[in-house]
Amino acid sequence: MKRSRDDRFRPRVGPPRSRGDASSQRFIGRVVRAASRSGKSLGYRATRARPGARLGRGYAAARLAARALGPRSRRVIVKVRIVKHAEIKPATLRENLDYVERDGVKPDGSPGRLEAAEQEEIDAESFARRIEPDRHHFKIIVSPEDGAQIGDLKSYTRELMAQVERDLGTRLEWVATDHWDTDNPHIHILLRGQDEAGEDLVIAGDYIAHGMRHRAAELATRWLGPRTDREIRESLTREVEQGRWTSLDRTLQRSAQGGRLDLTDLSSAVQDRDYRTLLIGRLQHLRELGLAERLAPNRWQLSPDLEPLLRTMGERGDIIRRMQRALGAERRELGTLGNAERPESVTGRLAAKGIVDPLSDRGYLIVDGIDGRAYHIPVPPRIDLGGFPVGAVVTVSNGPKSRPADRTIAELTAGGIYRTSEHLTIARANHRPGRDPEEFVQAHVRRLEALRRAGIVERLEEDVWRVPKDLVERGRAYDARRAGGVQVEVRSYLPVERQVRAVGATWLDRLLVDQCGDLSPMGFGSEVRAALADREGFLVSEGLAERRNQRVILARNLLAKLRSRELESAADKIQVETGLVHRPMVDAAPVSGTLRRSVILVSGRFAMLDDGTGFSLVPWRPVLEGRIGQIITVVTHGDLVSWDLSRRRGVTR
């Protein structure tokens, strides 16, 4: 029997990017609304939604998962952060992967290993290169309260992400590893910001805020079963004497009126006798901490700073645990950078480093100071922790000091006006050997240009500047904002024990030349004292020092001789590798070339400038970070190094 032509279905496809007519748009809207009511997600992403419409995948699934949770569900903390690649350095993604793969995070102390849905081990470098062109990626931390009971967090993660794929309606590319180095085992997940069609992955805000946590709790409940009365009570009992913000504190704060709490007015949800007993026990512990006061039977006054103080106490407990892991059985007094009663800077061995908050990339350093104290120092996300190897000698300062250039400009300013010509006249009159007056003044002009871009000074004419009276203070505040609170300087990439017999100008040599006596007889200070004595013996054996009775006389220009020896040796190796001719730096003679790479030596970090036929090794400065491949001009005047970072065309010499 021949079928009628009326039964045939022939779709009429519109042109690419066509939005269709009004009826088709109404039909699409009905489909999406029907999917939302059914709890299924089609993964539809609206491109031209009306104001206030919810965008992104997973909104319907988030609502469905929220209804499925009950009071006996297992508790899971899920934190999600969207990382926009335009706002981070290319190295930041690799640092995040290094963090999750760091040593000692598995139950047996082994390093973490990235895994995916179908692969046991993922190469972090290739994953970073693959997702770097994306607009963004997602950083996710999943921390089940009963993670130790779950045990197989690898399978748990794969099942969770499979559910997320179903909720979002697309296949996902992700890597993850589980960490067991804290009280609560947890999972780090990096989710690529693209869907299976290669489009930007946009997830509904409700799913990020609630849906994924509900799915994780639902899965944990399915694996372990609902929480029993005993488990719930044991969990709450542990909170009674904890020195951090807890769910009991949240209940107390929510039930209080203006900080005053009447236990007889508690809601029916918290009138359970056992739960009420736990709340009273928590109040008594808070009274011991000075955070609550009993006014009368059943009446309490809570501290207005209850939550921030408890969160601070929790962070301090985390700090102490980190320092115990870093220093082991070694006992140290806890030091703090800060006000006049505390040091503005500390020098010591970098004992450990890490991430305080993996979502915000805020890090920390633990420094074993030469003053016998140990310091836990938070550092902002902009500081690259990869540049500070554990065991290196570093100096951490509590914000930048005022710059000599700012002080000089302020001294030469008359009536709010600074003139370059007048400064040059004074510099020529007070000329010192080894310092070019024009280059010296030009360094101040470059500083003024930076302050002009920050809106602190104003250029009136070619060599005339309007300068505020508080230039020094505002310049320091500008540097502090850019530094993010602290500055970290590597004094030596080599540990102290390896500096003793090293060929090069070591940090120990600088201490010997400066006759530094601010070394504690305890802790790292005592190790440095012993290393200095051994270094003196090595210098004597190399003919760079002479022992006279109980004294050791160092050779003249010791640091320059040691640095010269090492640079010659390093230059010979680079000549063999590249075929370029080494051009040693000459004082006051400018050198230009393309910045090829940095070279880390015992004497410090150096930049390799390539002019096409030869190369020079010049002292590295932080301003060169991220400028590999650019043409740079440098002039040295003794220990003063001046850089010209302007881009130039043509052949450089």
Q: Concatenated DSSP letters for 607-623? A: EEEE-SSEEEEEE--GG
What residue ranges in 506-588 does DSSP mark as E strands?
545-548, 551-554, 581-582
DSSP single-letter state for residue 146: T
Put residue 210 in one of left, alpha, beta given phi > 0 → left and psi -120 to 50 → alpha. Answer: alpha
pLDDT of residue 418: 95
Cα 391 from Cα 490, distance rounded (Å)? 11
Structure tokens at 498: 């390896």
pLDDT of residue 536: 92
For residue 535, which of 556, 506, 514 has the smallest C-alpha distance?
A: 506
Q: Count of alpha carbons within 13 Å of 456, Cβ hemisphere only?
A: 19
Low-confidence spans in the chain with pLDDT less than 50: 1-2, 12-25, 28, 32, 36-54, 104, 339-340, 647-653
Cβ-based neighbour number of residue 545 at 10 Å: 20
pLDDT tens for 391-403 read: 999 998 876 778 8
Report whether 353 contacts 406 (CB < 8 A): no
Q: In which residue ranges of the chain is CATH 2.40.50 found? A: 321-394, 560-644
* 631: enclosing H helix or E strand: strand 631-637
CA distances to 205, 421, 426, 436 from 431, rounded to whole Å, are 64, 15, 8, 8
* Cβ-proximal residues to 209 (8 Å cutoff; 6+ apart), any chain: 62, 80
Which own/partner pairs from 112-115 qualify as long-range (CB within 8 Å, at least 24 positions apart)?
Answer: 112/177, 112/178, 112/179, 112/188, 113/177, 114/175, 114/176, 114/177, 115/154, 115/157, 115/175, 115/176, 115/177
Length of the chain measured in residues: 653
DSSP single-letter state for residue 487: E
Report whether 72 contacts 232 (CB < 8 A): yes
Cα 65 from Cα 562, distance rounded (Å)? 68
Cα 17 from Cα 360, distance rounded (Å)? 38
Q: In which residue ranges of the chain is CATH 3.30.930 found? A: 25-224
Q: In which residue ranges of the chain is CATH 1.10.10 found? A: 236-308, 404-483
CATH 1.10.3470 given to domain 404-483:
no
CATH ID of 236-308, from 1.20.1440, 3.30.70, 3.10.450, 1.10.10: 1.10.10
Query: Domain 560-644, what fold?
Result: OB fold (Dihydrolipoamide Acetyltransferase, E2P) (2.40.50)
Global pTM reads: 0.67
Give the β-pairing of 373-379 and 333-335. Answer: parallel
pLDDT of residue 572: 92
pLDDT of residue 9: 54
pLDDT of residue 638: 65
Top CATH class of 25-224 equals: alpha beta
Structure tokens at 429: 């009159």
Q: What is the DSSP string of 233-262?
A: HHHHHHHTT-SS--HHHHHHHHH-BTTEEE
Residue 348 exposed, middle or buried by CB count within 10 Å (0-12, 13-18, 19+): buried
CATH ID of 321-394, from 3.40.120, 3.30.450, 1.10.10, 2.40.50: 2.40.50
